[in-house]
Amino acid sequence: MNPFYRSTKPPATTCEYCGRTVDPATRIDTVVPDSTYLHADDPRQDGRRLGRACSAEHADELIALGTRNWIDEQLWANKLRRASGHWNRTETTLSGIADRAGLTPTQLMRAIRWRSETSRKDWGWGRGGRDPCTSNSDHGHPTELP
Ligand SMILES: [Zn+2]
């Protein structure tokens, strides 16, 4: 490697699983299932965010973690919340609302029920306290292991 280029290389990122600093050249970008995530412009990519890992093993762990924590209703409730921000107030039919949120009426009902059951918890854009990926801590191991 030419040492000349060192100062211009992109900043290192950290592995979401173990928190280790990862060189961009060896970083693994992977798609991680995440039911709290909504894509900014493409609803088809809701629930699938880009994750960064130091190794293929940790990329697999990130995917496994996302799969374990996945809640269908959480994703649907988020979609509903996004849609409810700008729907036409005259649209009051269930199927109309479901349509706008990109859900089936059944999914809509389950999302509403889930939301009311978890309304006392902090749901939605924030995350629960069990996710080691968001703690940004310096101890280089996840807090939750099987
Ligand atoms: Zn790692």
Q: Is the pLDDT of residue 10 over 80?
A: no
Structure tokens, 146: 């099987």
Proportion of the chain above pLDDT 70, given as a percent = 68
Residues 16 and 61 in one domain: yes
In a domain, 81, yes or no: yes
In a domain, 133, yes or no: no
Rounded Cα–Cα distance for residues 9 and 58 (Å): 24
**Domains in the chain: how many in total?**
2
In a domain, 55, yes or no: yes
Identify the top-confidence range among 2-16, 45-59, 74-88. Answer: 45-59
Rounded Cα–Cα distance for residues 97 and 35 (Å): 20
Q: Which of 129, 132, 112, 118 is nearest to 19 (CA)?
A: 132
Q: Summarize the confidence of residues 20-26 as an average pLDDT.
A: 91
Residues 57 and 96 in one domain: no
Higher pLDDT, 71 or 122: 71
Q: Which domain holds residue 52?
A: 8-70
Q: Summarize the confidence of residues 122-136 as an average pLDDT.
A: 44
Measured in Å, residue 146 CA sits from the centre of ligand 1 at 16
Higher pLDDT, 96 or 1: 96
Residues 14 and 30 in one domain: yes
In a domain, 143, yes or no: no
In a domain, 3, yes or no: no
Higher pLDDT, 24 or 70: 70
Residues 105 and 92 in one domain: yes
Measured in Å, residue 97 CA sits from the centre of ligand 1 at 41
Residues 83 and 57 in one domain: no
Q: Summarize the confidence of residues 98-113 as an average pLDDT.
A: 93
In a domain, 22, yes or no: yes
Rounded Cα–Cα distance for residues 94 and 92 (Å): 6
Q: Summarize the confidence of residues 101-112 as an average pLDDT.
A: 94
pLDDT digits (tens, 9 = 90+) for 108-126: 999 999 998 887 655 444 4
Measured in Å, residue 142 CA sits from the centre of ligand 1 at 10
Residues 20 and 66 in one domain: yes
Q: Is the pLDDT of residue 14 over 90?
A: yes
Measured in Å, residue 59 CA sits from the centre of ligand 1 at 8
Measured in Å, residue 134 CA sits from the centre of ligand 1 at 14
Q: Which of 29, 11, 31 is nearest to 21 (CA)?
A: 11
